[in-house]
Structure 1
Amino acid sequence: MTTIGVAGAGSIGASLIRLLHTSPAARSLRLKTVLVRDAARPRPELPAGTPLTACPAELTDDPQIDVVVELLGGVEEPFRIVSRALSQGKAVVTANKNLLAERGPELFALAAERRLPLGYEASVCAGIPIIRTLEEALRAERITALEGILNGTSNYLLTRMSEERAAYAQCLADAQRLGLAEPDPTYDVSGQDAACKAGILATLAFGAYVDCRRLPVTGIDGLGLEDVRQAEVMGYRIKLVAAVRRAAGDRVDAEVAAVLLPLQHPLASIRMECNAVRIESEGLGETLLAGKGAGPAPTGVSLLADLLDIAAGRGRIPTDGHPFLAGAAELADRQASAARYYLRLAVADRPGTLAQVAGCFASQGISLASVLQPEVPELAGGSLVPLILTTHSTDRRRLDLVLAALSAAGCGRSVVLRIGEH
């Protein structure tokens, strides 16, 4: 019998605790203690008699507890609890992507030193076994690229905007009402959540630590319904994509951004809050994993799978060669990567504006593939109107010079999206 201590009894913690009481697979596991911030508060969502404590030491220092499951969220407090548990000889399971993305090298070093398993399947894409796939099924492969839809909230918003032609603000309000978005959705819609997960996956895929805080990130909060409509007219669908690729000299080329994907691209059909990861490798070619990437139930299932592995002696103990312990990956200069772009500019409604804009692009050697100026109601002179452009392949550094020149000339806020490949 393996004895479990759980830190955190929020929605994910409650889901795991219910599984520990009801799943036939969990009969070899015994829950001893649940760490909460207020042990006196009634918790009807937990099975009756669940043992609660507000003292971390009753979890980390209890010699009867074999495995500590960390589900608190955040970084500093979880780091103290997980590092203490490992130092006391306990295996650890966590769903905390922020903890691993920022402090992973330290925790994996401690786990390797103590020869203890550290399970983290639930930290990325919840019920999709992407970490197990990278660590086990593809461990003999040379991965060349990985791209994924890693944030369910953003994908829900973009799906609603696409399929219902609903405005961003309305979709966000609905997502918050349904519990799919936080009251403050910034972490999700800004792309930071996806970047955190991308750092973990890139580390595993390319064998060296990729710090998510170094990745270029843009979100979906600046998009409008007009962008979604225009993309689909051109045969694309907008998705928030985390993309990492093996570049020259084994550098890692990575970004998180809203991208125009061709409709036939495998990620373009991923709907609502589902997640998906597409892997390119030398031997297998393309591998696609898709499913429920968020929510208490799928996350609880992944946590339980890690616990069962540890109880059966199959928990993976990190060694000196673990990707989180192999030093920092060298990142490629994303600004130098060539790509096509979609732009929606806000330009002055006066004669000669189109020629001025085209001249700015020409001055940087950027060729335009298409230009569209949607008709708008007649406005007072000097008002800004939309101008939609697509470019041929160029690097982002030159494009940024064009945008700076246009801004200096009086153009308003721009939307810039990379156009993905088939």
Structure 2
Amino acid sequence: MHAWPASEVPALPGKGRDLQIHDSATQGTITLAPGPVARLYVCGITPYDATHIGHAATYNAFDLVQRVWLDNKRQVHYVQNVTDVDDPLLERALRDGHDWTELAERETALFREDMTALRMLPPQHYIGAVEAIPGIVPLVERLRDAGAAYELDGDVYFSVESDPHFGGVSHLDAQAMRLLSAERGGDPDRPGKKNPLDPMLWMAAREGEPSWDGASLGRGRPGWHIECVAIALEHLGMGFDIQGGGSDLAFPHHEMGASHAQALTGEFPMAKAYVHAGMVALHGEKMSKSKGNLVFVSALRRAGVDPAAIRLALLSHHYRANWEWTDEVLAEAVARLERWRAAVSRPDGVPADALVEEVREALARDLDAPAALAAVDRWVERQLASDETDETAPGLVSRTVDALLGVAL
């Protein structure tokens, strides 16, 4: 599966800083100092509907991670999946009378268009669940043969008790885990399971649903968590730098994925940092496909909203914060974009060397994008009121905003 085209990232004078990031597993801020190649895995979409602002906020956060690393003169090995077969996708296709593969392909294509418009840097490996099945089956067999998984009426479940570190990503108690498991695709009440929290690794073929050859597992399709584990291990290996996604993925998805990988390899941890973006609300409720309270990126673009303004709206909130999308948020972003473009359109102006370092410092400090925007705002205010004549300043500010914030002026 192909990703989307990459926008050019301008080179800035000097060098950026090591990234300090909040890690859900340690529940504190850690400093990541990868080697020459930084490794990032971000969980992708289930393509049964268009990209909404909540998605865009999450991918914007990890786009900033890439930009900080690139500015720090590192290469970035970025991997993202697409869950192109799963219950929500099949249910939506059945409801609307569409072929599930066509639905997945159409919505994945729209996602690519949205990411391109927002200037999100693409992954080097963009892998669908279906194309990953040949690599998933042997992992499930290994877990079963090692006693870390068991069969139940043809389905194969992972035993969470096989990983001594289970619970170390989300730090939830058993009751909270059970409630979230039921809400987020699990089946804690199924009779016969060894532990209510045990997640499915391989679902035996159901009548009327797609299935694939699973060798000794029989025909079926993979569970949600093992999909990402197989892709991450193949392309990044254990101990990669960041496992990323929305905060709703901390449990069960990232918790279970970590345990799968740790049980498979005997190594710990799967990722050096588990990084989670906050949720975006609309009209007081978390924006989600199940509730239908969505603001689509593609709809905003069709309405004539500049993608740079959408990006500034996302950047105006700290990535870990839960916030609400409103008309006022977008209007403020549109006005900010106009001011910034007016400021850099002058042929000369206020020196900007200090601004570059301010933006770098803000982003290295747990991706504090609002602080970075505030720094640019201060330069813009001085620029619009000044008669200074540094001919390099407007261009340097444009390149800084582009390279570090992904906003084209």
Class of the TM-score when normalised by the shorter of the 2 chains: under 0.3
Query: RCO greater where, 1 or 2, for CA within 8 Å and sep 6 or more?
Result: 2
**TM-score, reference length from structure 1:** 0.21
**TM-score, reference length from structure 2:** 0.22
| Structure with larger Rg | 1
Identify the structure with the greater helix proportion.
2
